[in-house]
């Protein structure tokens, strides 16, 4: 079976050497030594400061919204994972969907500007497939409207231009879930621009406790544990191998997929994470035929993202994002992970050709 992704498991002896340290210290969680070491190494690797490791990417989004005291209308994208919208609603705010650009699949700044014509509490937008949004335009819009801006960079680990993409906006969040290029089993992170807000976030994920154990704010338990940090350290030791593998697989797709299949227009000036291989078909019926052909061969691509989040009834705020509603019906993410063999990628390309040619 070939799934859309396959989590990387680092060398067992390497992981064990980190786990031995946990067994030696008996410190299993609560800001332990491995967590502190991983935080420092990730800050260096990503080129950021004020990075806070947490339990998962979803709680990172919820914390970001809470830290920035975002209420009321939140301008957001309909083309993302459900966590992006549900975090807004969970915080008691109201998602207002701005449609996406038909070429990048990221939120369209002109649509965001339209959403900001009425008073808004903030913006939460996604770097879809790790492809940076039009960050310059969005940063400007947030500044002009004087609202906080959160980037859901769950899929954008390691993406950088002149600097890390995570340095845009007030807060960027990462998912470090098992299916991501770099993972800690479950996990997430916030990168917080403001120092005072970062200190508040450190307290917030630990029940609101200050250094002396006094309760300084309403907190929650959002901590990452030492086993997860051990996995992160072992993963980081192998990140170059993972990235090279993803790049190899992606380039085989690029050379061998039908030219008629559209790919997102990637933001020039930024590195590519190669974590996802989305392809856009001319119609949903072609997509369904390709999917069925791949399933016959036990190959399971995924329809990331679907549905368009502005159409989800339980979110209670249906929108009318025509571009997103069209794209979700035609986009398919092909299997993409470092351990995929050249021959397997070529087989997938051949099966797609057999339907589209």
Q: Which residues bind ligand T4K (CB under 6 A)?
A: 3-7, 56-58, 80-81, 83-84, 126, 152, 154-155, 175, 177-179, 188, 300, 302, 304
98 or 145, CB closer to ligand T4K? 98
Alpha-carbon distance 5 to 193, whole Å? 32
For ligand T4K, the closer of residues 179 and 356 by Cβ is 179
What is the distance in angstroms between the CA of the first residue and the CA of the last residue of the chain?
Answer: 25
Q: Give dist(CA 293, CA 291) in Å, integer.
A: 5
- Measured from the CB atom, the residue of 99 and 145 that comes closer to ligand T4K is 99
Minimum distance, C-beta of residue 304 to ligand T4K, in the bound complex (Å): 6
Nearest CB to ligand T4K, comparing residues 112 and 154: 154
Distance CA 89, CA 71 (A): 10
Q: How far apart are CA 292 and CA 286, in angstroms?
A: 10
- In this complex, which beta carbon is closest to ligand T4K, that of residue 216 or of residue 312? 312
Q: Least Å distance between CB 283 and ligand T4K?
A: 24
Residue nearest to ligand T4K (CB): 57
Q: Considering beta carbons, is residue 179 or 344 the nearer one to ligand T4K? A: 179
- Closest distance between ligand T4K and the C-beta of residue 64, in Å? 11
3-class secondary-structure state, position 63: helix
DSSP letter string over 233-282?
Answer: HHHHHTHHHHHHHHHHHHHHHHHHS-TTSB-----TTS------EEEE-S
Contact 175, 61 (CB under 8 A): no
Shortest spacing between CB 144 and ligand T4K, in angstroms:
26
Parallel, antiparallel or unpaired: strands 94-97 and 73-76: parallel
Least distance in Å: CB of 335 to ligand T4K?
9
CB of 2 to ligand T4K, least distance (A): 10
């Amino acid at each position: 079976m070939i799934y859309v992704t396959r989590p990387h498991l680092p060398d067992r002896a390497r992981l064990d050497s980190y786990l031995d340290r946990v067994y030696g210290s008996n410190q299993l969680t609560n800001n332990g030594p491995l967590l502190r070491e991983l935080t420092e190494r990730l800050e260096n690797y990503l080129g950021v400061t004020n990075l806070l490791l947490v339990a998962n990417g979803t709680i990172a989004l919820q914390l970001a919204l809470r830290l920035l005291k975002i209420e009321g209308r939140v301008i957001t994208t309909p083309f993302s994972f459900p966590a992006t919208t549900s975090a807004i609603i969970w915080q008691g705010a109201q998602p207002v969907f701005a449609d996406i650009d038909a070429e990048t699949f990221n939120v369209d700044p002109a649509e965001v500007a339209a959403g900001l014509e009425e008073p808004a509490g903030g913006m939460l937008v996604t770097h879809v497939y790790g492809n940076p949004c039009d960050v310059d335009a969005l940063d400007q819009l947030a500044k002009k409207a004087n609202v906080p801006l959160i980037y859901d960079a769950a899929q954008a680990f390691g993406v950088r231009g002149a600097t890390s993409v995570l340095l845009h906006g007030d807060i960027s969040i990462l998912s470090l879930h098992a299916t991501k290029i770099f993972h800690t089993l479950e996990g997430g992170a916030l990168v917080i621009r403001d120092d005072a807000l970062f200190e508040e976030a450190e307290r917030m994920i630990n029940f609101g406790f200050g250094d002396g154990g006094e309760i300084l704010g309403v907190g929650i338990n959002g901590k990452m544990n030492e086993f997860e940090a051990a996995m992160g350290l072992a993963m980081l030791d192998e990140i170059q191998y993972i990235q090279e593998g993803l790049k190899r697989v992606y380039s085989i797709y690029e050379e061998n997929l039908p030219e008629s299949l559209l790919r997102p227009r990637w933001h020039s000036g930024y590195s590519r994470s190669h974590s996802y291989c989305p392809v856009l078909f001319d119609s949903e019926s072609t997509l369904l035929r390709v999917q069925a052909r791949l399933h016959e061969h036990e190959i399971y691509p995924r329809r990331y993202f679907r549905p368009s989040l502005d159409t989800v009834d339980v979110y209670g705020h249906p929108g009318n994002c025509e571009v997103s509603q069209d794209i979700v019906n035609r986009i398919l993410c092909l299997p993409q992970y470092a351990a995929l063999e050249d021959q397997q990628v070529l087989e997938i390309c051949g099966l797609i050709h057999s339907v589209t040619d």
